[in-house]
Amino acid sequence: MIKSSKPSFEKVDPSFGSSFSLKSFNQQHQNRNHTFWHYHPEIELVYVNGGSGKRQIGSHISYYQHGDLILIGSNLPHCGFTDSLTDNDKETVIQFSPDFLGKNFWELPEMRNIKVLLERAKKGIVFHGEDKILIGEKIEALSTLTNYKRLLGLLDVLNMLENAKDFTLLNAEGFVLDTELEDNNRINVIFNFVKNEFKRNITLEEIANLVSLTVPAFCRYFKKTTGKTFVQFVNEYRLVHAAKLLHQKQISITDVCFESGYNNFSHFNKQFKKFTGKSPSVYRNEIKFAVS
């Protein structure tokens, strides 16, 4: 058992001469500091131009292709979107405090729709299709602007996000965000542990003991917080990892099965088809034609 897993609180500092943080990364300058499970009070907007990888936002786990555009609300735990296997062209990350323009700014009549967007972002929002492309281009262009025009550009981006029609709310079934600090720490410890240990069997006794709960209390807590059972969450994590391996590594499907924490190939096939609607072999053959 690993007792040293700690929740990671990320301290976000605004860019020099700016009220918010804007960072750009590419293959030569990779975003290696954000692959861990972490959270922060700042709202985060991420545009990954090209590539593919896992996204874990709250209790939602999925696999993206052809880039990603996602808005993450305040204190919503998440993992980074790039790692050593991700072949993305460019990643732009914007982070800003909910009150970076003043405590009452979003109460202005002109800003109230964006306030609704930021509230909705507490569950995590991923954008698709033409909306993703157009808004992504606008986000990348921010780095070329002066600080004043960059601020106006960010407001324009938020307005475009608020008007976007093609999006998915990630934790629509519920993820308890407005919890006490102790609960935020607890769920972060659990998710960090799963991220590190999902390839092996994790018993309920082990994970409950890790966060100082009895097994019944842990099961109630986890279901209330994430809307899922712990077994369901771990299985989804394994299946998304399997989808990633099928796309990014030329290894046998049997190896994908074992690399993803399954020790029964027939059970893996059945679970993967139930989760994706396709068998692993069909998924691998069709994935290059899929659109995020």
Element (H, E) at 115: helix 112-120
User: What's the predicted TM-score (pTM) here?
Assistant: 0.72
Digit-coded pLDDT (tens) for 212-231: 999 999 999 998 888 889 99
Side-chain half-sphere CA neighbours of 102 within 13 A: 6
At residue 60's C-alpha, the angle toward residues 117 and 175, to 5°, is 65
Q: Are 34 and 93 spatial neighbours (Cβ–Cβ below 8 Å)?
A: yes
Distance (Å, rounded) from C-alpha 9 to C-alpha 38?
6
Cross-strand pairs, 130: none
Distance (Å, rounded) from C-alpha 69 to C-alpha 127?
5
Digit-coded pLDDT (tens) for 126-178: 999 999 999 999 999 999 999 999 999 999 999 999 999 999 998 866 555 44
Two structure tokens written together for 23:
């960072």
Walk me through the domains of the chain, giving residue ranges and CATH numbers: 8-169 (2.60.120.10), 181-289 (1.10.10.60)
Measured in whole angstroms, the distance separating CA 145 from the mean position of its chain's CA atoms is 28
pLDDT for 266 beyond 90:
yes
Q: How many CB atoms lie within 10 A of CB 113?
A: 13
Digit-coded pLDDT (tens) for 64-116: 888 899 999 988 888 776 554 445 568 999 999 999 999 899 999 999 999 99
At residue 14's C-alpha, the angle toward residues 11 and 19, to 5°, is 135
List Cα–Cα distances, 174 to 23, 130, 224, in angstroms: 30, 28, 8
Two structure tokens written together for 145:
């602007």
Element (H, E) at 254: helix 253-259
Distance (Å, rounded) from C-alpha 55 to C-alpha 65?
10
Side-chain half-sphere CA neighbours of 234 within 13 A: 19
- Residue for token pair 């989808």: 243
pLDDT given for residue 29 in this prediction: 59
Two structure tokens written together for 181:
């600090």
| Ramachandran region, residue 21 (left: φ > 0; alpha: ψ -120 to 50; beta: rest) | beta
222/290: higher pLDDT: 222
Arithmetic mean of pLDDT over the chain:
84
Q: Are 55 and 61 spatial neighbours (Cβ–Cβ below 8 Å)?
A: yes
